[in-house]
Amino acid sequence: MAYLRHHDFPSPLLDWTRSFYVAAFFAFYSEKANEPNVAIYSLVEYYGEGKIGCANEATIVGVGPYVRTHKRHFLQQSDYTYCSKRLPGGKYVYCNHEEVFKRNDDGQDVLTKFIIPRTERSKVLEKLRMMNITAYSLFGSEESLLKTLAYQEIR
């Protein structure tokens, strides 16, 4: 599933990064001019003394960084989560992470959303480029190399 996720195939996994800089790159990389802001999310799965819950409630599960998948996983410092719950009868199903956040449980699964104006895009991407955080450094493909060069030379 991690391999599929890195290639834009639908998956129940959410793809996170351990780097705020990589998160900023992905937030600003796409040119969605009609949206005035970008959002960067931070998830703290275990905040406090541990994680509680019951199987028939939606629960976020961290997969962690040590999975066998595409090299992008390591370049992007990826982690993954999925959300599941048990239905009556014992069958487990994937569900939306929002089910957990709506409960607002104290001390676990803390989600923070940072809103940044899209007008900062050029400034942010230039600072990230100076740190070698580019499409090429994060994807490692010939196509991403050309996108990186085009951005540097044309913009």
Residue 9 falls within a domain, yes or no? yes
- What pLDDT is attached to residue 130? 95
Nearest-angstrom CA–CA distance, 144 and 155 = 16
In the chain, how many domains are there?
A: 1
**Residue 35, in any domain of the structure:** yes
CB-count exposure of residue 75 (10 Å: 0-12, 13-18, 19+): middle
- Between 40 and 45, the more confident residue is 40
Q: Tell me, yes or no, whether 81 lies in a domain.
A: yes
Instruction: Quote the DSSP letter at residue 109.
Output: E
Q: For residues 67-86, give the mean pLDDT.
A: 86
pLDDT above 70: residue 79 = yes
Mean pLDDT score, 115-137: 94
Burial class of residue 13 in the structure, from the number of CB atoms within 10 Å of its CB (0-12 exposed, 13-18 middle, 19+ buried): buried
Condensed to tens digits (0 to 9), the pLDDT of residues 44-54 reads: 887 776 777 67
pLDDT given at position 32 = 73
Spatial separation of the C-alpha atoms in residues 86 and 59, rounded to whole Å: 10
Range(s) of the domain holding residue 58: 2-119
Q: Is 105 domain-assigned?
A: yes
- Please indicate, yes or no, if residue 154 is contained in any of the structural domains: no
Average pLDDT value over all residues in the chain: 87
Q: Is residue 130 situated within a structural domain?
A: no
CA 132 to chain centre: 19
Does 127 fall in a domain? Answer: no
What would the DSSP string read from start to end of 60-80? EEE--S-----THHHHTTEEE
